[in-house]
Chains A and B, each alone.
Chain A
Amino acid sequence: VHPGTSRRLPSGRRSILAGMWPILAAAGGLVLLSTAFAWLLVWTLV
């Protein structure tokens, strides 16, 4: 490892599962946001 280079690169990689949670969070956020928006629409328009 050269000075100034992160020790995680290239060998100390994290678990791929750890790379999944931001996508899970984004999907969860999208579902929650659209559900909240849908309730708002139903409440105000329908």
Chain B
Amino acid sequence: MVARPERRDLRIIGYHLGRILAGLSLIMLPPALVALALGEWNSATALLTGVGITVAIGQLTEWRLETRSPLTLAHGTVVVALAWLLGSLLASIPILLSGHVDGVLDAWFEAMSGLTTSGLTVVQDLDHLSYSMNLYRHLTHFAGGQGIVIVVLALFAAGSGLGTLYAAEGRDERVMPNVTRTARFIFRVALVYLVVGTAALTGALWAAGIPGWRGLWHGVNLFVAAFDTGGFTPMSTSVGYYHSAGVEAVLVVLMLAGTISFILHYQLWMGRHRDAAETLEVRTLAVTLVTLTSVAMLALAVAGSYLDAGGLVRKGAFTVLSAHSGTGFAVTSGTLLVTDWAPLAVVAVLVAMGLGGMAGSTAGGIKAIRVAVAVKGVLHDIRRLLLPESAVVVTSYHAGRHRILRDREVRGAMTILLLYLATYVVGAVVALFTGPWTATEALFESVSAAANVGLSVGITSPEMPAALQLTYLLQMWLGRLEFFAAFALIGYAISLARGRT
């Protein structure tokens, strides 16, 4: 029996939670200013209301709950799990007030999809959403991608317990020994990519026929969605809207940059290219990406889905990368995936979504390192079976340095892998219970939600059943937190009710 938390524990949790939630006002303010500048008064009111509520919550927690007590790992984990749940609810306020969603659940779904960098959308009449509100949607990718916690870390880096919050968010692979410096490094990398990526995208968009400041606005939004592996786009037809090979080419670079871990960014930044190339996770990602792309293209060519090389690359290869990186940009209508695409190509996209990118990036899914460790673990067991009983079997891998594969690492990877697979299946089963979809469609959409990808075969829409929408919402939350922070929150809630005093 776990001990029942005391008032002091709740105060610590409430204080840190309040500070994180107050940080959300920072992503509402820039679009609010854009709204004022463009005279989008409805959006300005909605966004400023959001700013007011989040700032008020922050001030209230500072005033009523301020504490200097240290944050334990249990506190940090509960804070993080609650921050994503309540943060998305708060972030949904401007979306709800925009009038482009049908009720609280739709707004919450949109905000959760944005913050978890998923990209599934239920906004109605997206093509006529105001510039400022659309920018806000994309900025939720930025806040969630760089981590709600890390945003607060970088901007308000002071006080105790910061490292605890950071570890609880599943990003314990610190680039540098100091958490604050790590956060600043991550922001510096993002900032440089923002400047270079937005410039390249804007140029490509101008060439594609979207002139002036609208090209820049599309460029900023697309950059954030690609680099944070989010998948929201300003237009309802996603990247297919631009019909531009140039835009797609820039997005390929940005999606790749987004799906690799910040540790790898750091290694590349330090010129340790050889170290990076030897890393097990990099090699795994390269193998799965090339294999799945080849399988999809081969299946599409055999089935005659695309009859030219351009179609195979710009539709087939792009979609696999979009899925594998966890971005979810679409260059073809979702319904075409199930009606016109070869089934094997759809399976390749599905597997790519489920596997996801690298740990320590903004990508979702199982992650390449877990797949690699699980496979190495199986090979290790086979070797142990084949060799004499007295033989000492040692399996090693490269991750920053040479490491010996330990049983607990294999167990950890297998556990998370199994939890992801179970979540994928549960979401599919709920869809089959609640709607007229086929098993493939149900599984596709479920994997897309739980792996925080955002590709859709058309199930996610404003008309979808509420039970299924809530399931996807929870899947996005669980997938982002990689389960354990969410389980800890549930355990904490139980100990509050039934714990030993």
Give the interface of A toward B (CB within 8 A).
8-10, 13-14, 16-20, 22-24, 26-27, 30-31, 33-35, 37-39, 41-42, 45-46
Report the minimum CB–CB distance from B180 to chain A (whole Å).
14
Given A20-B196, A38-B301, A41-B312, 20 more pairs with CB closer than 8 A: A14-B271, A16-B188, A19-B269, A20-B268, A27-B252, A30-B252, A30-B256, A30-B289, A30-B293, A30-B317, A31-B249, A31-B252, A31-B313, A33-B290, A34-B312, A34-B317, A38-B309, A42-B308, A45-B302, A46-B307
Total B residues in contact with A, Cβ cutoff 8 Å:
37
For the complex of A and B, list the 4 residue pairs with the smallest distance between their C-beta atoms, beginning with the closest. A19-B269, A38-B309, A19-B268, A41-B301
Contact of B313 among A14, A20, A26, A35 (CB under 8 A): A35
Is residue B459 within 8 Å, beta carbon to beta carbon, of the partner chain?
A: no
Which residues from A are CB-within-8-Å of B393? none
Chain B positions 259-285 with a Cβ under 8 Å from a chain A Cβ? 260, 265, 268-271, 273, 276
A13 to B271, CA, bound (A): 9
Main DSSP-derived SS at the A contact region? helix
B317/A23 in contact, CB under 8 A: no
Q: Are A27 and B256 in contact (CB under 8 A)?
A: yes
Which of B253, B256, B269 interacts with A16 by CB under 8 Å?
B269
Q: How far is the CB of B420 from chain A (nearest CB, A)?
A: 25
Q: What CA separation (Å) do A20 and B273 show in the bound complex?
A: 11
Q: Does B165 contact A (CB under 8 A)?
A: no
Measured CA separation A33–B176 after assembly (Å) = 35
Could you tell me which residues of chain B, from 63 to 105, have a CB within 8 Å of some CB in chain A? none
Q: Which residues of A contact B26 (CB under 8 A)?
A: none
A–B Cβ pairs within 8 angstroms, 6 of them? A8-B271, A16-B189, A17-B196, A23-B260, A34-B297, A41-B309
* A23–B270 touching, CB < 8 Å: no
Distance of B274 from chain A, by nearest CB (Å): 11
> Which residues of chain A are near B269, meaning CB under 8 Å?
13-14, 16, 18-19
B256, A41: Cβ atoms closer than 8 Å: no
Give which listed residue, B249, B290, B312, contacts A38 with CB less than 8 A.
Answer: B312
Whether B265 lies near A38 (C-beta < 8 A) is no
* B192 interface hit (Cβ, 8 Å): yes
Instruction: Report the separation of the CA atoms of residues A39 and B196 in the bound assembly, to the nearest whole angstrom.
Output: 31
With A and B bound together, what is the CA distance between A37 and B256 in angstroms?
20
By a CB distance below 8 angstroms, the chain B residues around A24 are: 253
Would you call A18 and B313 a contact (CB within 8 A)? no
Is there contact, CB below 8 Å, between B270 and A9?
Answer: yes
What are the interface flags for B305-347 relative to A under an 8 Å C-beta threshold, 1 for contact and 0 otherwise?
Answer: 0011110110011000100000000000000000000000000
- Complex alpha-carbon distance, A19 and B271, angstroms: 7
Contacts of B316 on A, CB cut-off 8 Å?
34, 38
The answer for the CA separation of A3 and B243 in the assembled complex, in Å, is 56
Residue of A nearest to B277 (CB): A22
How many angstroms between the C-alpha atoms of A39 and B313 in the bound complex?
A: 10
User: Smallest CB–CB gap between B330 and chain A, Å?
Assistant: 18
